[in-house]
């Protein structure tokens, strides 16, 4: 039977970095590695919100990206 084995996790902040000349949003992102696999959503948001204050861009979303390996 196949199973998922946790490998890594990262927190990602997506930003609105302004507009292009034709009016489309410029998206920027910053990822922070070494997030614990069992971090609570509240703690992750608190950490990413604190890190996002280092940027002058407007935050669009926070994400948790998990990488797993499928094993047999």
Q: pLDDT tens digits, residue range 20-38?
A: 999 999 999 999 999 998 9
In this predicted structure, the answer to whether residue 72 has a pLDDT above a threshold of 90 is no
- Write the pLDDT tens digit of every residue in 58-69: 999 999 999 999
- Within 8 A by CB and 6+ apart from 2, the residues are 70, 71, 72
Half-sphere exposure of 47 (CA within 13 A, CB side): 17
Residues 46-56 pLDDT 10s: 999 999 999 99
């Amino acid at each position: 039977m196949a199973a998922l084995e946790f490998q890594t996790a990262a927190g990602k902040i997506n930003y609105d970095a302004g507009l292009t000349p034709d009016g489309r949003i410029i998206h920027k992102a910053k990822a922070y590695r070494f997030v614990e696999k069992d971090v609570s959503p509240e703690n992750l948001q608190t950490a990413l919100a604190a890190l996002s204050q280092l940027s002058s861009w407007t935050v669009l979303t926070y994400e948790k990206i998990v990488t797993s390996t499928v094993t047999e």
